[in-house]
Amino acid sequence: MKASKIIGVGSYVPDNVFTNFDLEKMMDTSDEWIQQRTGIVERRWVSDDQGTSDLALNASLEAIKSAGIDKNEIDMIVFATLSPDHDFPGSGCFLQAKLDLPEIPAIDLRQQCTGFLYAMSVADKFISSGSHKNVLVVGAEVHSKGLDKTPEGRTVSVLFGDGAGAVIMSACDVEDRTKERCFIDAHLHSDGKFAKELWLPGPGNSFERPVRIDQQMLDEGLHYPQMNGKTVFVHAVKRMAQCLQELCVKHRVSLEDIDLFLFHQANLRINSKVAEVMGIPEEKIFNTIQKYGNTTAATIPLGMNDAVKEGKLKEGMLVASAAFGSGFTWASALYRW
């Protein structure tokens, strides 16, 4: 049967390191407060001249090199981001131009922290249908330019970093998806009634005003992300565990069979709680939030590349990923590296 597999991975983070001590100078916070609540020690923020597709370009070039293919063999781009270069067109088009890959389709996905798993699933469906052979899947974010870096924004702004990750998913033939090297399956979910528990209100077209943004919105801080932290935490733990379990049951895979867990990196406490609830040994979970913060759609591919470089992720390993984010959206994926 037709399937897809990951044949290359790449990542990129900006050079600028911002530690918790750097944030102490901007906000009413402390290194101890941030570490206790999130596990984050530092994050990377872009220089003024860097945009989302610039980060994506660097990650993509490394993924292409890792895959050992010519860039012209790529026949589709799927780009997950909530922080595009511009409102329109999508960042996939800007990345396509920078890669000089004219005419191939470029799809942008706006599924926030769950975006990369959605993007991998979309790529897998196109490849498994036989219509495409090599798909570049990217998750990239520039959060730092849209954060409230004053004391009023501390509960949200300390969480986020900038970065990008990418994989090349390529066509293959398998007889048994669960035993051979391939993307096995993904389960995707959402529940829009919680949309305003974690969201960016403005600019927007749903306000009873004749413009998408005005001074009143700016004065009210509606152009900064807003989050109900307790609600997000509870739902993240529940939904990540739930969708991971349902995927394992479907494919008759036990948690003990899984060699490595690459979870979305939103909060170290969330991942630790998921591990506790499911009985997953902490040493099987590869975390990067300590050094990158929450890079939203980029966290999972960033983790993949770091895990490969550190010798934690090796060919033949069975890997599980789970993510939860704004929307609410959540997803799980199972793949053999």
- Residues belonging to the active site: 113, 264, 294
Q: Which of 287, 118, 134, 269 is nearest to 189 (CA)?
A: 118
Angle at the Cα of 112 (from 248 to 264), degrees rounded to 5? 45
Instruction: Give the count of beta carbons closer than 10 Å to the beta carbon of residue 284.
Output: 15
Q: Is 281 exposed, middle or buried (0-12, 13-18, 19+ CB in 10 A)?
A: exposed
State how beta strands 2-12 and 163-173 pair.
antiparallel
Residues 100 and 304: beta-carbon distance below 8 Å: no
Q: How far apart are CA 51 and CA 17, in angstroms?
A: 17
Please state whether the peptide bond connecting residue 210 to the residue before it is cis, i.e. omega within 30 degrees of 0.
no
Q: How far apart are CA 26 and CA 256, in angstroms?
A: 44
Type of residue at 153: G
Q: Is 196 exposed, middle or buried (0-12, 13-18, 19+ CB in 10 A)?
A: exposed
Instruction: Give the count of beta carbons closer than 10 Å to the beta carbon of residue 293.
Output: 29
In angstroms, what CA-CA distances link 89 with 86, 93, 106, 150?
Answer: 7, 7, 11, 31
Q: Specify whether the backbone of 176 is left (phi greater than 0), alpha (psi in -120 to 50) or beta.
A: beta
Concatenating the DSSP letter of every residue in 52-70 gives HHHHHHHHHHHHHHHHT--
Q: How far apart are CA 107 and CA 48, in angstroms?
A: 26
Q: How far apart are CA 91 and CA 99, in angstroms?
A: 12
State how beta strands 76-80 and 134-141 pair.
parallel
